Chain A
Amino acid sequence: MTTLQIDHTSRWFGNVVAVNDVTMTIGPGVTGLLGPNGAGKSTLINMMAGFLAPSTGTVTLDGGTIWRNEGIYRHIGIVPEREAMYDFLTGREFVEANAELHGLGSSEARRALATVEMEYAQDRKISTYSKGMRQRVKMASALVHEPSVLLLDEPFNGMDPRQRMQLMELLRRMGEEGRTVLFSSHILEEVEQLASHIEVIVAGRHAASGDFRRIRRLMTDRPHRYLVRSSDDRALAAALIADPSTAGIEVDVQEGALHIQAVDFGRFTALLPRVAREHGVRLLTVSPSDESLESVFSYLVAA
């Protein structure tokens, strides 16, 4: 039980399309589901977790339909994004309850709590836990039955760097053991550090798929737009356009600025200060004008 198959799946809410004709296969190892907020990552994960029916298409685990199939949860562990989790229980009581619901007992709960290193706080009420501790107890509750598939929705949100590293280490280990680990994130660096495979979702569509080097290259190679103000815009523009790293420069007289489109990110960032110095032009403002995650991702859709 290790391969999640999403086949021509769409999901809409009223006339809002959250997931649009997505097809992907997620196998053993760690896969990152990357996309900006609101891209449909949670909707996709909720369908894989059996909490949401696809409007069209199928979501299956090794051929078995996930929606309305309680038995499938013997193989799937879920770490939801939302915080709420029976705060009136202690960590141990919570994980034990999860174990019991799987027909298991306190020894499995103990093992799961040990895996996430939460034994030291297991007898405290969950309401007293920090965000990172909650996340670990959620992990323990998802691992209690040794699932072959682990789904995590934005697991690193609100974690401090040390907790983040611990969780990454744990997920990496799960992946190496041959489990299918899928986590969502809107932060490229997170996904890049952990996932051997990346699926990118933008505006409900499957935008890219592959290993992180390919995705990274797509992201850095895209045309970058800059807004530059200087002591002599025209002289700077003339000098810059001679270099192949720039594809276009617009002199915006009203704004008193240059809109520069660079095609070779690395080369352009080295070129700009050098050219300015050589021509005795003072740079007043250099700001990327489309660094928003949304524009980065939408470039990927086109690629």
Chain B
Amino acid sequence: MYNPTVARLTYRALLGRRRALILFVLPALLLVIAAAVRGFSGADDQTASDVLGGFALATMVPIIGVIAGTGAIGPEIDDGSVVYLLAKPVKRPTIILTKLIVAIAVTMAFSAVPTLLAGLILNGNGQQVAVAYTIAALVSSIAYAALFLLLGTVTRHAVVFGLVYALVWEALFGSFVSGAKTLSVQQWSLAVAHKAAGNDLITSDVGLPTATVLLAGVTIAATWYAGRKLRALKLAGDE
């Protein structure tokens, strides 16, 4: 269910594009912010949690998820080069699963690692804040990668829709409409982080059982549907 050639092509496509710059810029920004906050106001658990929750988990992880998830397949479908993968005796679900694994790995590498580092800079993992947010970043990486990979197979404007979901739905809408929070990858991963931290510095509007079920459900459903879409992908002909 994993094809190393597909993975290699996907990694190179993802990291070789100009868009990949964002993958480096956002984590760097997070580390700069963490260093600055630590420098100005010293180590404080609440501040650490605010920075990691407000910037790392709410903004950086979803944007990196959008770049990695849509970028793992969208451009290939857009420009038609995906035919070189499709015209091979390789099962379509294998192609999708491989691309998902790559998207998850890239999202994790560029979001969880800097989150851990920023947490260590902010308060040296006091109250388990750094580790808890890192776990949240790892968990949400999986769901975001799957969601945005699906988006990449469904629409040409995957990046735009992805950003709208990540920034408008998760960040803005969620703070006005409480129901929207139940349907938010961020809240689900916060539930996991809350459990990991074992204190109330990190809170979620969703309970852990619900969060776990929804995380797993969304990931599996999105991957399954993306595989289906690819199986019956209609290549836009030139006619």
Check B81 against A85 for contact (C-beta < 8 Å): yes
- A80 interface hit (Cβ, 8 Å): yes
Which residues of B76-106 have CB atoms within 8 Å of chain A's CB atoms?
79-81, 83-92
Is A57 interfacial (CB 8 A cutoff)? no
Residue A303 CB within 8 A of the other chain? no
Taking a contact as CB atoms closer than 8 A, the residue among A73, A84, A89 that contacts B80 in the complex is A84
Smallest Cβ distance from B118 to chain A, in angstroms?
Answer: 31
**Is the Cβ of B6 less than 8 Å from the Cβ of A82?**
no
Once the chains bind, are A49 and B16 in contact (CB under 8 Å)? no
**Residues of chain B within 8 A of A112, CB atoms compared:** none
In the bound complex, do residue B239 and residue A40 qualify as a contact, i.e. CB atoms below 8 Å apart?
A: yes
Selected from A37, A71, A78, A103, the residue in CB contact (under 8 A) with B239 is A37
Place the interface of chain B in its size category: 20 to 34
What separation, in Å, do the CA atoms of A86 and B14 have in the docked complex? 11
Q: How far is B85's CA from A78's CA once the two chains are assembled, in angstroms?
A: 11
Q: Are B3 and A82 in contact (CB under 8 A)?
A: no
B80:A82 contact, CB within 8 angstroms: yes
Contact check, A86 vs B89: say whether CB atoms are below 8 A apart.
no
Beyond A38-B239, A46-B237, A52-B235, is A84–B89 a contact (Cβ under 8 Å)? no
The residue in chain B whose Cβ has the minimal distance to the Cβ of A87 is B81
Return chain B residues, CB-CB under 8 Å to A82: 79-81, 83, 238
Smallest CB–CB gap between B88 and chain A, Å? 4
Chain A 82-114 interface 0/1 with B at a Cβ cutoff of 8 Å (1 = within): 101110110000000110111100000000000
B8 on interface, CB distance cutoff 8 Å: yes
Q: Which residue of B lies closest to A70 (CB)?
A: B89
Instruction: Determine the residue in chain B with the shortest Cβ distance to A86.
Output: B81
User: What are the residues of chain B within 8 A of A46 when measuring CB–CB?
Assistant: 235, 237
Chain A residues with Cβ below 8 Å from B12 are: 88-89
Number of interface residues of A (CB under 8 A): 37
Q: How far is the CA of A73 from the CA of B84 in the complex (A)?
A: 11
Instruction: Determine if A97 and B81 form an interchain contact, defined as CB atoms under 8 angstroms apart.
Output: no
- Looking at the complex, which one of A53, A70, A84, A88 makes contact with B79 (CB distance below 8 Å)? A84
Tell me the smallest distance from the CB of B158 to a CB of chain A, in Å.
17
- The CA of A114 and the CA of B89, in the complex, are separated in Å by 24
**Contact across chains for B89 and A71 when beta carbons are under 8 A apart:** yes
The CA-CA distance from A141 to B83 in the complex, in Å, is 11
- Closest A-chain residue to B233, C-beta based? A51
Per the bound structure, the CA–CA distance linking A70 and B91 in Å amounts to 6
Q: Do A42 and B90 form a contact, CB below 8 Å, given A78-B83, A86-B81?
A: no
> Closest approach, in angstroms, between the C-beta of B133 and any C-beta of chain A?
34
Contacts of A50 in B (CB 8 A): 86-87
How far apart sit A38 and B237, CA to CA, in the bound complex (Å)?
10
Contact among B13, B87, B231 for A86, CB-based, below 8 A: B13
Residue B5 is within 8 A (CB to CB) of chain A in the complex: yes
Bound CA span A98–B235, Å: 19
Query: B9 at interface (Cβ–Cβ under 8 A)?
Result: yes
For B14-56 the 0/1 string (1 means CB < 8 A from A) is 0010000000000000000000000000000000000000000
Asked if A81 is at the interface of the complex by the 8 Å CB criterion, the answer is yes
The proximity string for B residues 203-224 relative to A, scoring 1 for CB distances below 8 Å and 0 otherwise, is 0000000000000000000000
Jot down 16 A-B pairs with beta carbons below 8 A, ordered by A: A41-B239, A42-B239, A46-B235, A49-B83, A50-B86, A52-B237, A70-B91, A74-B89, A84-B79, A84-B81, A86-B9, A98-B84, A100-B5, A101-B84, A101-B88, A103-B89
